Amino acid sequence: MFKELYLCLTFLLLSLDSFPQDIKLIINDIHITGNKKTKKNIILRELTFSKGDTISGDELEIQMIRSRENILNTSLFNYVTINKTIINSEKSDINVIVEERWYTWPSVILNYDDRNFSAWLKAKDLSRSKYGFSVEKYNCFGRRESLKISLLFGFAKQFSVSYRNIALDKNRKHFIGGDIEISHPDEIIFKTEYNEPLIYKNGFHSVFERKKYTLNYLYRPYINNFHNFYLNYFEYNVSDTVVRLNPDFLLKDKNSMKCFTLDYVYTIDKRDIKAYPLQGSCFEILIGQTVSVPFSKTLFSSTVIIPSFYKYYVISKNVYFATGINLKLSYSNQYSYFYSRSLGYIYNLHGFEYNTIEGQHFIVFKNLLKIAVLQPKITEISFIPFTKFNKIHYALYFNIFSDCGYVTDKYKTPDNSYVNRFLISGGAGFDLVTYYDRTIRAEYSVNGFGKSGFYLHLTAPLNKID
């Protein structure tokens, strides 16, 4: 019996060995073309493989797809192609072909300045716009650094300058940056009543002044992992009228405040295309601590923790699903309306675009089913002579979505009925996605209070805000 079992096992092992195994290839060299300005090492940093690596053929195909997505997510290129050239049975060259974007944007700015595009349209007030000029220089010196200087008038009245993504080492794991922003808007949301923002405006002088100075350090040990540290210094000054209208706008009966904020943001980003993801995931957590400057007349302290998670699935060739959750926990030693903003600003629920919901804590859960009406296509416009603009890509998606959330506010007033209760909404719409990371959304949604409407947005749905 033992002899027969031994012969069977030997035959099985010999049979398994006779099946062809996935051939492993040595990456002989990596050729990069099309990068007229971008340094080669910027592109090499986004590849999941290196020269000299030994990888199986199937795994190499997967890594080539992921590497292409990484390069596109730098926002330096409009199009990226990666393929391989087989040299022999053991070696292969990798070819990376890129088409660079236009990096310098001196521009005249005429844009809305509101919590979202739909809220701006509802106001029907062109004065709530910002106009001016800016110079944006992406990919400075071909090293992916970004410089932006802007001077805005109208509603915003803002000056800002930022220089970011300055590498400190040749392996591009350590970066620094900085921002300065000074704004003097003549209009401000000073309170929420009946779940909608109250706005105070003075056409003769600014009603709020904010100065912000930021130092940023970024540590990127791996391609998809980011550790961001922000040290911010803020100065706030608000008009006496706003304090009379809402004594708790900044702090109790105070019209000025100076404080430091230290923010730590950890991100694991595995989205296929971050501007409009269809597959992958993204986890991020923000931990922030704000303290008033030493020896202030009023001591203020606020701690905030905001974890977020988004997951994207490919169901079939034309069907996709996405889900996401945002949670905010905040603790302050005294009440500040300015530091209690929750939904209606950065984070939103469909069907509540016109509302502001204040509170110390919130949770938002969103689901989205997406159907491709028009898969991504590339069209060349022959009458445009500039190669960086005459080739555009576009896609159209139909969405069905449902949201739910909850905001807690221990300072709730009777008129603000949306806090401390379950919020739901749902609806459908279309997304038009085009080049230079642009998305136009047209949606119809209805919330759990029976209020419905048609809304326009200029951002991708259910996605991390970059």
The confidence score (pLDDT) of residue 382 equals 73
If phi > 0 it is left, if psi is from -120 to 50 it is alpha, else beta; for residue 7 that is: alpha
Domain 104-457 = CATH 3.40.50.170? no
The confidence score (pLDDT) of residue 393 equals 83
The structural architecture, per CATH, of the domain 20-100 is: Roll (3.10)
The confidence score (pLDDT) of residue 10 equals 46
Q: Which two tokens stand for residue 273?
A: 């295309």
User: Which residues does 156 contact at the CB level (< 8 Å), separation at least 6?
Assistant: 113, 130, 132, 183, 185
Q: What is the dihedral of CA 364, 367, 372, 376, to 10 degrees?
A: 40
Q: Classify 3 as helix, strand or coil.
A: helix
* Helix, strand, coil in percent for the chain, rounding step 5: 10, 55, 35
The confidence score (pLDDT) of residue 302 equals 96
Residue 341: HSE in the Cβ half-sphere, 13 Å Cα cutoff: 17
All CATH 2.40.160.50 domain ranges of the chain, comma separated, are: 104-457
Rounded mean pLDDT for each run of 10 residues along the chain, 466 residues in total: 48 41 84 95 95 92 95 93 92 95 70 54 57 83 92 78 95 97 89 92 85 98 96 96 95 94 98 94 98 87 97 96 97 93 90 92 97 90 70 91 96 93 97 86 94 89 80
The confidence score (pLDDT) of residue 9 equals 46
pLDDT in tens, 404-423: 999 999 999 999 999 999 99
Whole-prediction pTM: 0.87
DSSP state of 7: H
The confidence score (pLDDT) of residue 124 equals 54
All CATH 3.10.20.310 domain ranges of the chain, comma separated, are: 20-100
Strands 225-238 and 187-193: unpaired
Q: Give DSSP secondary structure letters for 327-392.
A: EEEEEESS--STT-EEETTTB--TT-TT--EE-SEEEEEEEEEEEEEEEEEEEE-TT---TTTSEE
Contact 55, 67 (CB under 8 A): no
Contact 379, 392 (CB under 8 A): yes
Task: State which H helix or E strand residue 11 sits in.
Answer: helix 2-18
Residue 167 pairs with which residues in a beta bridge? 175
Distance CA 94, CA 400 (A): 40
Q: Classify 261 as helix, strand or coil.
A: strand
Distance CA 466, CA 449 (A): 31
pLDDT in tens, 146-186: 999 988 776 667 899 999 999 999 999 999 999 999 998 88
Contact 165, 145 (CB under 8 A): yes
At 65, phi and psi to the nearest 5? -65, -45
DSSP state of 284: E
The confidence score (pLDDT) of residue 125 equals 57
